[in-house]
Structure formats: structure tokens, C-alpha cells
Structure 1
Amino acid sequence: MREVIKLGLILLLITSVAAIVLGLTNSVTEDVIQEVEAEASKEARLEALPQADSFKQIDEDIFSKIKEENSKVVEVYVGYSGEEVVGYAIKTATPGYGANIEVITGISVDNQLTGMKVGSHQETPGLGANATKAEFQNQYKDKSTDEEIVVVKTPPSKDNEIQALTGATISSNAVTDGVNIAREIYNSILAE
């Protein structure tokens, strides 16, 4: 009996030390992780809205109104070329196969999708994770914000269609849902 208690106390001591070390490591690296994530988001915004050379978060009151309309919107940035507004970069998070898929959608002030970039995701490698490839993402460029984007399994025959990733219809639909949410937010609030 004493041997079991002794082993239990040793195990408790080891796990306590490990927890303290992990906690300290997390607190030291937390700022660095946030900086890396912020830089990745900035680069994704530039890819989604290449006409812009700088971005500024949208006014807090407008963002609150957007969040009321759709809780899947994570952030909204106004894109500028010099002092001129050239469009918006809208980040959404929609449920995919593995977890939420973050999508940054670029929309120009002339009602065109300028691009999209898949951010963090937990989709299956070789299937849903292929949504990060340029071949898939480039299908969204130059689509009008007037019509809902639709996922099809065959080569697209209409301007508003996107071909699904093979074996990853759920992921394809999740990405397209994110783009459509951004399109709807633009049409209902930002284009006014």
C-alpha cells in the first residue's frame, strides 16, 4: 500500500512540474504567437485584396452591426490604396469537416470578388486541406457579388459556380459559405 502511495506522489510531482513548465512556456511564447498570427492575417488580406496597400479595421459600431447580422464574421478590414478605399477584406469562420475553416475574402468597391485565402483549418490532408491551394482559391477571383456562389461537382458552366474539391465537398461548401457570408455582408452593409 505504501508503495502505491509513493508512486502516486511521485507521479503527482512530475505532472505538477510539467504543468508549471508548460504554463511558463506558454506565457513566454504567447506574444510571439499573436504577432505571427497577425502577420499571417495581414499577408492573407493582401492576397485577397491585392489592390490595397494598407488596411484599417472597420469602425467598431459598424462591426457590431455586422456581428449582429452574422456571428460567423471574425473581422472586417477596409482596404486602401493611398487614401482611397478600394475594398474590404472580410474574415469568416464556418464549420468544415474537421473544425471551423477561416476564410479571408477580398471584395472591391466595384462589387467583384478579388480573391480569397483559406487561413487556419483542420481539414483532412490531401482532401479538404487542398482548399489552401491556389488552383482552388483562384476559382473565386473576379466573381460578382450579385449572385450567390454555388459549389458543383462538375466543371462550372455558369459564372457563379465553383468546382468542388474531389472527395471534399464538405470543405468546399464550408469555404464557399464563408465567401458567401462575406458577399452578403458587403451587399447589405458595406456597399451602402
Structure 2
Amino acid sequence: MKEIIKLGVILLIITSVAGLILGFTNDLTQGIIQERALAETREALIALLPEAEDFAIIDDEEMLSRRNILEVYEGISNGEVIGYTVQVNPQGYDGRIKMLVGISGEGRITGVKVGEHTETPGVGSKIADASFTNQFLDKSTEAEFIPTKGGETDDQYIEAISGATVSSEAAVEGVNSARSLFEEVLKNR
């Protein structure tokens, strides 16, 4: 019985020390991790709106309560808003897909960047490839985008990835969420 108590106390001490070390390490690295995440976000924002000199996050509950909208940034150049970058998270085949959608002040898609996702490697993950995301480039935000498998060529049609229909539809839904936010709210700010 004494031996069991002794082993229990030793185990308690070891786990307590390990927990303290892990907690200290987490506190120590948390700031660095957040700085790197902000730097990565800033790089993505610059890639989507390269003309912008600075970005300001829009903290508007009405916008953030809309479907799939996570964050909205204003791209600013010479003190004027030149466009917006909207972070969206549509539901994909195997979870949420984080995406950034750049929109110029004139209502043109300046780029789409797919971030974190859990789509099927080699199939659904192709939504992050330039061959898919570049289909949105320089298209107007006036009309809703429609995923297609039939090869339609009008501007609103986006060719779905073969074998990844759900992932393709989710990506198009994400861009449409950003598009409708721009058309209904941001355009008239």
C-alpha cells in the first residue's frame, strides 16, 4: 500500500512539473505564433490587393454575422479605400475551408487564396491550385458564380474540379459570400 502511494506521489510530481513546463513554453511562444500568423495574413492580403499600402480590419457585427464571413479588411492607398479582402469559411466535403477573396473597389475579383482546409488530398485539395482559383480573376461581382461541369463559358460559370464537386461548390459558395457582401454592403460604404 505504501508503495502505491509513493508511486502516485512521484507520478503527481512528474506530471505537475511537465504541466508547468508546457504552460510556460506555451506562454513564451504564443506571441511569436500570433505575430507569424499576422504576417502570413498580411502577405496574403498584399497578394490579393497589391495596390494597397495598408489594411484595416472592419469590425462590423452586421457583416460578421453574415453566412461564411469571418473577417473583412479594407485595402487603403493614399488614404482612400481601393478594395476589400474578405475571409470566408464555407463548408467543404470534409470540414470548413478558410479562404481569402480580394475585391477591387470597382467590383472585380482580384484574387482568391485558399488557406486551411481538410479536403481530400489530391482531389478536393485542388481547389487551392491556381488552375481553379484563377477562374475568378478579374470577374465582376455583379452576378453570382455558378459551378459547372459542362464547360459553359459565360463569366459567372466556374469549372468544377472533376471528382471534387462538393469541394468546388464550397469554394464557389465562399467566393459568392464575399461577392454578395461587397454588392450589398461594402460597395455603398
For residues 104-123 of structure 1, the aligned pairs below 5 Å read 104-123=100-119
For residues 35-184 of structure 1, the aligned pairs below 5 Å read 35-58=35-58, 60=59, 63-68=60-65, 70-184=66-180
Residue 28 of structure 1: how far off its partner (Å): 1.4
Residue deviations 1:39-95 (CA, integer Å, cap 9, x gap): 11111112222332321122x3xx212123x05211111112222321111111122
Alpha-carbon separation, structure 2, partners of 1:72 and 1:113: 18
Residue 127 of structure 1: how far off its partner (Å): 1.9
Alpha-carbon separation, structure 1, partners of 2:68 and 2:30: 25
Q: C-alpha root-mean-square deviation of aligned residues, in Å?
A: 2.2
Instruction: Report SS of the residue matched to 1:105.
Output: strand
Alpha-carbon separation, structure 2, partners of 1:168 and 1:95: 13
Contact 1:79 1:87 in 2 (8 A): yes
Alpha-carbon separation, structure 2, partners of 1:164 and 1:5: 63
The answer for unaligned runs of 5 or more in structure 1 is none
> Which amino acid is the alignment partner of residue 91 of structure 2?
P
Sequence identity (%)? 43
Question: Number of matched residues?
Answer: 188
Cα separation, partners in 2 of 1:21 and 1:147, compared to 1, 3 Å: same
Residue 6 of structure 1: how far off its partner (Å): 6.4
Alpha-carbon separation, structure 1, partners of 2:11 and 2:94: 34
Contact 1:47 1:116 in 2 (8 A): no
Instruction: Report SS of the residue matched to 2:50.
Output: coil
Cα separation, partners in 2 of 1:129 and 1:18, compared to 1, 3 Å: farther
Cα separation, partners in 2 of 1:2 and 1:102, compared to 1, 3 Å: same
